[in-house]
Every structure is written in structure tokens, then in C-alpha cells.
Chain A
Amino acid sequence: MTEVRSFEYLRKLARQCMFECSDEELVEIQQEFVILEKQIELLNMVDTDGVEPMVYPFEMETSFLREDEVVNVLSEEDVLRNATKTRNGHVLVPTVVR
């Protein structure tokens, strides 16, 4: 599993999350991945053959649909209140298609 600790692989993981890490930070992450891999081995000590994944604590399915009523509506002004740049009721971003 050592390839997962290469700078290239870790940069790919970071980019997947839409951020960057400095070389110094990557060295720190490399060191922590050594521990992480050992801790992951502890998962493999447990036999999970035939065991279903548990996704939520209580597996009760929602068996109804709520009424189709408009509730908890935010005004356009409120929705845009925290955006850095807005124009004509929209969030403004740098030009996407040039």
C-alpha cells in the first residue's frame, strides 16, 4: 500500500476534495497514513462475511410522504444574503464559458 503515500497520490486525493496541500503538509499526512494503514488492518481482523453494512443507527424506513405543501421557504434576499457577489437575483461567479 506504499503507493497510497506518494505525494502524487495524496495530491490527487486533495484535489478530489477541491483543495491543495503544501509539501510540508504532505509529509505530515504521509506519516499519519502509516498509522492509518495499521489501524485499517484492525478492521480486517474482524470477520464480516455475510454482515450487511450499517448505514444509520435505526434502520426504520420512512413509510410515508409528507403533504405536498410549501413550507420553510427562504426569500430570495435571504438565500443570496451570504453570497460574496450577486447580480440580478443570481450568485455571480467568474465567467465559465468564454
Chain B
Amino acid sequence: MIEMMKKDFCESEKHINEAIQKAQKLQAKLNAVVTFVDPSEQIENAKKKSEGLMSGVPIVLKDNVSTKGIRTTASSHILDNYVPVYDAHIVDLLRNHGAVNIAKASLDELAMGGTNLTAATGAVHNPWDLSRISGGSSGGSAVLVASGVVPFAIGSDTGDSVRKPASYCGVIGVKPTYGRISRYGIIPYASSLDHVGYFVRNVKDACIGLEVVAGRDDRDMTSSYKEVQHYSEVCDGSIKGKKIGIIKNVMNSITNKAVIESFNSLIEKLKSEGAEVKEITFDEDLLRAILPTYYMIANCEATANHANLDGIRFGKQMPADSTEEVMVASRTAGFGIQVRKRFITGSYGLFVENQEKLLRKAQRVRRLIVEAMHTALEDVECLIAPAASGIAPSIESEKMDELASEYLVAENHMVMGNFSGYPSMTLPMGFDEGCPLGVNITCKPFEEVTMFNIGYGIERCTGLKDLVAEVK
């Protein structure tokens, strides 16, 4: 898709204009865009970048990606008027490859959520069924790829925030290895878990996308020096002899028959292509502890990271008589209740008397979970499981039982990819009630080639490639 678009620049300009028109037309139904971006200067730049891997290709950025001179809100009222004075590293890379950013996409406020119902601009709707959620936190980006507006969109993934909306929206969501993509200029959530990720509609584009945005950046000390491979050239899509491990705990906790049938059917096809599949059972207590481990680590880190959102040096300021009260008033008015709840949980974990029994305990459990993943991946090249326990929930639906394994394990197992930093991606695997179901794979660190090869195999087995939702 990306290669096709960049072949002819006259055609590219047409594609860019069509993308903008389509995004504008769909905005009333999807509510996926926070800010539309004037592409004129970028088009002129793209003309000079004809050799770039995304020359003239329209793309979208999640609105927590800093864009110089373009409002960047992270879907929070407190950043309503914030205009960055510098670009994120990935913006530089995308520009160098001639990509044209047409919009900043909605997210759960400050990327803290999994529904995209908490954005300051309101809920984002799933293009396959407008009464359902897009998933989050990168919901706007997922929806704009799923509805065919753009072939590539940037998201961020702290606890499955690319891979879950990808599952709900019928697109591919990639979260590469921690450090593979620089996070400089991304408004942070939880630094030890934050990854830049992206959405595409086929595995070839996933390969091209990583070639563009990966690489060392001295401004992010966690970014890796490892060479960026030419993934689109070195991946041959062969899965013969590949060893794949099914996470049995996830399958045991899922009750939805469509998910189970769809997954089992995929596994049979992978076997018929020569993959060697085995079942892997993790310690159930470890997997049931994923969510509280995540809550503690993510919320404690977020509470510290967002201490700078006080309306003083940047962001929306509320008037008050003292500096301290300006901060309190600005933060009270600027944050939605869901974000304030998470900060309260973080503050709870950071209290001196709680740090050892909550935050440190969570960090110890994190190590055990990652060690268990490492051990599992000594026997297989890839872990596989459904990305969610079903299709996207209805916007009005009741919360799941938050203590049941279906919620704790099946809905949250992908967070293991954030704990470990291992590369992980979600692909479409089937449909239920006209809405997509996703499958997730996770590989060893920096083995994106293996991940994309298995991804190609899955794409071939399901035949679900270049899906575009028809928005009704």
C-alpha cells in the first residue's frame, strides 16, 4: 500500500487530498481527529524526498507526538493551547522519508486508558460498528487506518495501547522492541513501559514502517544502537519449521466461541504451512498479577512524569492567588476524572509507607513475569494468543468482572510485552458479528524479522490483508 502510493508523485498528491477529504467527511461519525494539519509545506518537502520510503504518503500522528508549530494536546484539556517548539525524533524521520502528516489523532487522555472514551474531544467510534469503542489509547490512529483514510499511523503503547485497538479495528498494530524507536518528543506516560508503535493494513507496510522510524537517537538514552534492518527485503514470509507457543492460560480464560474457533482455525493453517506449534502454560498466579503490576508501575511513573503539567510554563492556566493554587486549579480543571483516578493510585503507591509493599512489590513481580517469558521463549520463537477475549465492546456496555481471569488474563496478557520490552504485534484473525478479532504474537528482543515472518504467515493463512471498514 505504502509502496503503491509513493510510486508517482502526481498520484501521491491526489492520495493526500483524498485522505484529507475522507478524514473530514468521516469526522462526524468517527471523531478520530483532534487537529487537521495543512499539508502544503510537507508536500513541497516530499517532492524533494522522492527516494524516501514514504515519499508523498499521507500519514497520521497520535496527538501525543510533539509537532513543532502544530497544537499537540494529548487529548487533555490541560494541553488545549500547547504548541510544541520542537519535533519528536520520529517526526524528523518521517519527514526525511517524505511522509505527509495530515492529522493529529485522538487518544485516551494522556494515553491513560484502553477505550478512547476519555479524550477531551469525546469518544472515538469503531468504523466497523459505530456503537462500539475503537479501543485505546491510540484509538484515533487505529480508526483512521481501519477506515482507509491513511495507510500508516503512529501510536504509542504503554500497556497494549497499539495492539488492542488494532485488534478491535481489524488492522495491524506493531510495538517493536523497547529502544527500537526513539521516544524523544513523545509526551510520556510511564517511561519504563512506553513504546512508540504504529498501525498499517498489511505486513509489508509494517516492515517498511519500522525501517523508517527505527534507530538510535542520542536524545533518548534508551534507544538502541542495534542496526536497523531492511525488513521488507530480508523477510521472506517463510514459517516452515518456525516454533510457535500458544499461551494456554489465555485460551483457558476465554469463553467466546467465535474467538476460540477463529484462533484454532488459524493454528491449524499455520501447522499446515509447516509451523511447529506447542502449548505453553504459565504460572496462573503470575498472569493474574499482570494487571495490578501494571497499575502500580504505570500509575506511579505517570504521577511523577506529569508533575510538570501545572499550567505555569506551558498548558492551560487557571487563575488563582498563589502559584501553588494556580497549579492546583489548573490541574483540577485540566485533568479528567479518569486521569485523576490514576494519579491518585500512583500517589498511593508512592507514599513512603506503601512504596515497598506496592511499587517495589510490583517491580519484583514484573521481573518474575519477564523471566517466565524469557524461559518460554527458549523453546519457541514466538508466543501466540488472541489479542482480546472478543470484538470491541459497545460504548454503553457494562464493565467486565475485573477479578475474573477472562479480564485479568485474556484482556491484559499483552502488557507482558511492555514489561519485557519484547517485540509484539497484533493482526486480524477473523470476524464475529461483523467486527474484527485479532491475534497477537510476541518474539524475542530485537527479533522483528522473526515477528514479521510469522506475521506474513498469519496474513497468508487468514487472507485478511488490506482490510478497510465501510463506515455506515
- Interface residues of chain A, those whose CB is within 8 Å of chain B, are 4, 10, 13-21, 25, 28-29, 32, 35-36, 38-40, 42-46, 48, 51-58, 62, 66, 71-72, 74, 78-79, 81-85, 91, 93-94, 96
* Segment 170-186 of B: residues with Cβ below 8 Å from A: 178-179
Does B36 interact with chain A (Cβ within 8 Å)? no
* Overall SS of chain B's interface: helix
Q: Using an 8 Å CB-CB cutoff, how does the interface string of B233-268 with A read, 1 for contact, 0 for none? A: 000000000000000000000000000000000000
- Interface residues of chain B, those whose CB is within 8 Å of chain A, are 81-83, 85-86, 178-179, 192, 218-219, 221-222, 285-286, 288-289, 291-293, 295-296, 303, 307, 310-315, 317, 320-328, 331-332, 335, 337, 340-341, 343-348, 351, 358, 360-368, 370, 402-403, 408, 419-421, 445
Within 8 Å by CB of A83, from B221, B312, B340, lies B312
**With A18-B328, A94-B323 as given contacts, are A52 and B367 in contact (CB-CB < 8 Å)?**
yes
* Overall SS of chain A's interface: loop
Asked if residues B332 and A54 are in contact (CB atoms below 8 Å), the reply is no
**With A52-B364, A94-B323 as given contacts, are A81 and B83 in contact (CB-CB < 8 Å)?**
yes
Query: Which residues of the partner chain B approach A25 to less than 8 Å between Cβ atoms?
Result: 337, 340
Which chain B residue shows the least CB distance to A93? B323
A80 to B403, CA, bound (A): 47
How many contacting A-B pairs (Cβ < 8 A)? 156
Which chain A residue shows the least CB distance to B322? A94
A94 to B42, CA, bound (A): 41
**With A17-B331, A17-B343, A46-B286 as given contacts, are A53 and B315 in contact (CB-CB < 8 Å)?**
no
Which chain A residue shows the least CB distance to B365? A46
Which chain B residue shows the least CB distance to A48? B364
Asked if residues B364 and A53 are in contact (CB atoms below 8 Å), the reply is yes
Which chain B residue shows the least CB distance to A32? B341
Which chain B residue shows the least CB distance to A40? B292
Which chain A residue shows the least CB distance to B422? A57
